[in-house]
Every structure is written in structure tokens, then in C-alpha cells.
Structure 1
Amino acid sequence: MKEEKKLMAYANGPSLEEINNTVEVPKNASFARTLMAYSGPGALVAVGYMDPGNWITSIAGGAEYKYALLSVILLSSLIAMLLQSMAAKLGIVTGRDLAQATREHTSKKTGVVLWVITELAIMATDIAEVIGGAVALQLLFGIPLLVGVLITTFDVLLLLLLTKLGFRKIEAIVAVLISIIFFVFAYEVALATPNIGEVLQGFIPDPQITSDKSMLFLALGIVGATVMPHNLYLHSSIAQARKLDRRDEKEVAKAIRFTTWDSNIQLTVAFIVNCLLLVLGGALFYGTSSDLGKFVDLFEALKNPDIVGKIASPVLSILFAIALLASGQNSTITGTLSGQIVMEGFIHLKMPLWMRRVVTRLLAIVPVIICVILYGGSETAVEDLLLYTQVFLSIALPISIIPLTIYTSDKKLMGKFANPTWVKIIAWIVAVALTLLNLFLIYGTLVGLE
């Protein structure tokens, strides 16, 4: 029975067949040149760690507790590095993504259930992208929210164009958009002139985090929202884009090594961006009475001298909106690829990329449009949707982390590349802790715990 499942998975074809095993890597090249050849997948993965959904949490954390939660961002980033390296290793060693590997070890009915849950999580991510893009268009150009939501449906054309240009072009464009986000917030933090000593002290865990209920819940929100389940499926697939002979253990080891380097470098960039967001919140808004729970609040605050002092400028607000738009476009690319991976992996259903994009986007804009119509274009009501999309992400997280830990620790499946004992122990601690944490976040979201 097990062999039959394996044959069925292989008959279904490799993950993301159009990009699988297409990118050449140099032989016997220098470290730097080899790293450049493997660089790219990490950028697509890093997008999920600096999406619009994380922005409000990080800035609000700084505004309320200054730099005390930087240690939480550091911990979250280290967890992300571990899980993403495991996901990439699974794809490189087995030639199967996490969805395919999970489907091999489950029944058809279970595969469908897992697919539905994961699709809802991807749709939730897409809703955040729609909201971020629509709000950015309104802030930049005064476009009504409903019109902005409809405009975001046309970014399918952008993705189709990028697909025809080749996967390396997609990786490059995502890296450029990440750079825009990075430099925007680095510039704004530089203008805010935070106290460097206080910032560095923020990376030391503060005992108050465990004793202050409100602070603890915000810290849990940062950790819980950091690891995105669709990123694990995505990384296990796009790590296979580089040409590789899996019969050569040295070549496999090399691919794992450089893919991990790529992932960790890009996740370090994401870590810095999230730190910049929190530092920006702490430097500009700590001690003020400003409500920073929404993108519009932040946009208005950055140009209000009564809140941020002499550095207040419409330019800062515009740069913030541009970074928000860049983040939304990045999510367009990664969300579509993730959706294709889980659909092919869990239920063995293939469809043209344009159709996949249209279906995903239409599913995402429907709740946003309903919300806009019901509340008369209120940005506050629309952005409140972001809070509830986190529930779907929380539900989907355990069904990705637990199988990932099981499969990468299985010596029959991974051979000499199975997780060593210390990694296995840490991975299980992380898997159990994040599962419990996300159950708590679901409860807190639904009952309004603060």
C-alpha cells in the first residue's frame, strides 16, 4: 500500500513542474558564486515574515512597550530559520514537497481535509494582501477602497508576465521589492534617531513579558504570526528549482548547505525589517496616546508633528504606503505559488497558473468587498478582517509543522540527512509550543482577549 502511494505521488509529477530542476548551478565555483546561484528561494520565503499582517503588531509593540519585545522577534526569527531549513532539506533530499510527502502518508479523504484547511490559510494570507494593497492605493492616490480591491484582482497579469520571464526573474523582482521595504524603514528609523543602547538592551529577554498579561499576549501574537504555514510548503518546493543529481550525496549536501545559507540570509533581512518596524514604533510613538492599530493610523501619524515631532513629513507617509504596496505585490507571487503546491500535492489537481491566480484572488476579495459594502468603505472595518484571518493561519500551522518534523527526522526517508538528535528535540519543542500557542491565540481572538 505504501509503495502504491509513492508511485502515485511520483506519477503526479514533481512539485511546480514548470520550474523544478531548471536553474543551473556552477561546478567547482567559489563560495560567493555558488551562493549567488542558490540565492533566490530564500527571498520568496522571507516575504511571509514581513507581510502587512506583521507590520501592525510590530509597530504597536514598539509604541506600547518601546524596545522590550525585540527579544521576542529574535526568538521568532531563530525558530523560522530552523523550520525553513528543514522544509528546504525535505524537498532537496526527497524530491517531494511537504504537501506531497504528507499526502503519501495519509488517505485520500485526509488529504482533501488537509488541502481545504491549508487553502483557507492561503486565502487568509491573500486577504491580508488585498487589504494592504487596497489601503496603499487609497493612501497614495485617493482611490476608494472598493475600487482598490477590484484593482488588486488584475495583478494576476503581473504574475503571468513574470512566469514567462523565468523563475530567476521572479526571484530578482521579489528581492528588489524586499529591498524597497528594507530601505524605507531603515530611512525612517534613521530619522527617528532611537537610543542605540536601549535598542540593544531590548534583545535581552525582559522578565516583565511573562508577568504582564497584555505584554505577554502581544509577545505571543508576534511569535504566533511569525511562522506562516504556507511558507513551509513553498520552500520545500522551490528549493528543488536548482538542477541536482540526488544520487550524488556530496551534491545533495552542497545543495542543502547553500540553500540554508540563502534562507538564513534572507530571513535575517526579514528579522531586521521587523526590528526596524518595532524600533520605529518605539522611537516615534512610545509615550504618546496615538491609536496605531491600523495602516491609516500609521500613515496619518507619520505626517503629524504633534505625534512624531519635527521629523513629521508627508514624504514619510508616502514611503510607508509605497512599502505597503510592495509588500502586497510580493505576497501575490508567493501566495499563488503556495496554492499551486498544496493543490497538486494534496489532491493531485493541476490547473493553469492564470486560473489558479484568478480563483484564489476572487475567493480573497469576496469577504473584503462584502465588508467594504456593509461598512461604507470604512478602512477600520476592512482592516479588522486581518485580525480574524490569523485564526485560519493558526489552525493550519500544526498540520504543517508536525509532519515536517516527523519526515525530516525519519532516517528511512532522509538517510544520512535526517535531523540529528539535538535538532529533533528542538524541532519537537517548537512544534508543540507553537501548536499550543496558536490554540491560545485562536481563543484570544474569538473572545477578545487583550
Structure 2
Amino acid sequence: MLIPGASCVQEEDVDTREYVVISDTPRSSTGQPAQKGDRENSLFSPQSMQHQGFSLKNRGASMLLWALLAASAVLTWHSYMLGERLDNLVKVVSRLHGALQPMHEAQKRLAEKDEEIEQKVKEEIAARKNSTQIAQGMMSDAERLLQIALERIERISGAAKISEDTKKLVKDALKNITYDAKTLYTHDEAEVQKMLEMEQEDSNLINYVRRKMWVTPSPRTVPYNLRSPGKMDRSEGQLPAFLDIFENSTGKYFIECGAFDGEEISNTLDLEERYNWTGALIEASPPNFESLLTRNRKSILIPACLSLEKKPTKVKFLHKGTVGKIFNSSEHGGKEPSLNQNEKMIEVLCMPFFTIYKALDRQEVDLFVLDIEGHENEVLHTIPFDKTNILVLIAEFSHGVKFSKDHMKEYMLKQDYRLYEGTKQNYWPKENFMFIKKGCKYDKKHP
């Protein structure tokens, strides 16, 4: 085998390289084949190795040296691979940083929004100078959002998708919120002036009801706080007719306007307590509403008066126990009446019934109770019945101010309702009409 010598020089077309010939035959220093004696004196002979200091005892050190050289090569290789990985990691971090940049910008915008909100709160405090009212507004917003969130999740995902722990957290949060009746009837004057120009279907008006005139139901786990617990019929005789029409149905929905304190002469408490109904209770009088808050009703409470027009109005309300009503100066010769110690004249904000109906966002209302001491006909004329789905309606006619009871009956028959004339009525013929929507599920039993 020929190997070029290390000191050879190559010139043009002339191969002057010297070659060293290696063969298996040992040779002497003169180039002739080595003899026996030469082998003994060769570089790799035991005698030569001993002469050069390489004894058999030092072979272990030589092997260790080779092992260290091999380990060094391995470490060099791993260092190279680690460097490659670090480079890749730097590239990944760089891409991640780019992806996180929008998040950082969003956080910055949120921080700016927080500052804006804080400034608005300061302005609100400076304008109202009423910490109780501000705190109440914040609690009202919080509890409304919690309840809406729970209802939306149940509607979209199904109640089974929500853990009981989550439900309990929400309900406990709602249960611990307290309300001040006077604050609930207090409204920002600038907002009121704007609302007085809005029509009853205005989305801003509907959202205002949800945001400022809304007390969520007390949880079913919280017991009622009644003066007469266990009483079988708290209505004035209407309950037998209800049970006849609804056939003891459970889980239905009502709206009661003129809710008073939520217990005395209540048309809906028995349905709610015994038949698991729920709904909305509307009360115009702040003193009455204060009592209503303590009953732990399982329905939404709305501190509002019903407007006699198709837009919000501000009126004077005569608080007079169970017979409080919108003050009509024509009944008193254009003058305000003299009041006894149990009566009060209060200025209240009235909302159209249809605005509240839209705020409740119900596809169907099984029962609507209208008992507002004389203005029932006027309220009925504000309702677009072609845009509502009220199946059964009871309205008091005995205190009619502007329209007669015959006018009420005639008007409701034109709205595709018929008069209930069942055998279960008791108090009905004297003071109230009850109408059933033609063709609805409750009309089948009473054609």
C-alpha cells in the first residue's frame, strides 16, 4: 500500500512524490528484511517498549487515554446538538413573542379602559354625592349579570352542564345582596329626560329596565318570610278559577302588576309556592315594595309604575296601602287631596308594560294579572297584543277612571280573547274580568 510522504512537493506534470512502502515483512533500518535480532530490537518489540518506558503495566493508562478522547468526542457532538436545539428554541420564543404581542396590546387597552371606568365612577360620585345609591347600583349590576349568565348557560348548554357548585356560588351571591327600596325608585334625572322621549320598543329603554329596575328572584332554597305561612288561599277568590283553567299545572309563568307586599291578597303567591310557578312582580309604591323585598318571593321584582302611554312617564303616585294608584287631579277638583298619616304623594317613573314584557324576554306568559286601581283599561290600550303571547289575562274593572267595564270587555274581545265564564269563579263577576286567548292550550277546556 502506497501513502504519499508528508514532505513531498508536487510540480507540473512531474510526479516527484516519494512513497514509503509498508509491508507485513519486517525490515531493518537499511531497508532489507529484518532478521530475528532486528525483530527483537524493533520499535514494537517488548524489549524496545521496555526500553522506551512502555511496559505492559502502563497499557491501562493508554486505554484510559483513549477512553477520555472518545468521551471528549461524544461531548463535542452533544454540545453541537445542544447548540442547534438552543437556536431552534430561540426561534420558537421569537415566534411566541410575536403571537403574544396582540395580547399585550389588549392588556394595555384594558388598563386604559379601567382608567376610563375609574374616572366615570369619580364623576358619578361627584355628581350624586350619594354613596348608598352608587353602591346599590353596582350591586344591582353585579347580581343582574350573575343571574343573566346563569340563565344563558342553562339555556344554551342545558342545566345539566352546570355544576351544582357553580349554581350554589351564583345563588349565594344573589342571596347576600340587599336592596334599599328608596334607592331602587331613584333615577338619574338626565337619563329620565332622555327616556321620556323613547318609544316603548326602544332597546335602550328595555336595557334600562334590566339594568336599573330589576331585583332577581330569591333562591328556592331560601324559605319564604310570610306573616301567615300555610294559608291556603291568599287571593280574593281567584285561586279556584286559576286551578280550573290551568288544571293544577306546575312550572308556569306569570306577570302580576299591583303586587302590593307580595302576600296579602296576592293572586300569584299560591301558584308560586304550591305549584312551582315563577314570574315578575311589579309594584309602583316604594313603601309597598319595601315589604315585598322581605317576602323572599321566587320571582323577579320590578320597582315601577305602569305607564298609561306608549312611552315612559313621570307621575304622582298616591300611596294608600292596597289601594294606591296614579294620582288623577280631576278626581279632586284639580287639587291635591289632604293626606292622612298613612298616605303619601310620591313622584315615580312609569314604564310601558310592553317595555317590561320585552325586558323579561319570554316566549309565553301563562297569566297576566292587572290590578292598578282604576287605570287598567288605559294600560291595556298601550299593549300591542299582536306582538305578545299572553294566554290568560285578569283585569280589575271596578275602579275604572277613563273607561267603563263594558268598554274593557269589548276591547279585549277584539284582541282575539274571550271571556272566561267557568263555574269556579267566586270574586270574579263583582270586580274582575278574566280573558283567555282564543285557540291557546287553556282554551280547549273552555270552548
TM over 0.5: no
In our comparison, the structure showing a higher alpha carbon Rg is 2
Higher strand proportion: 2
Larger RCO, structures 1/2 (Cα 8 Å, 6+ apart): 1
The structure that is helix-richer by fraction is: 1
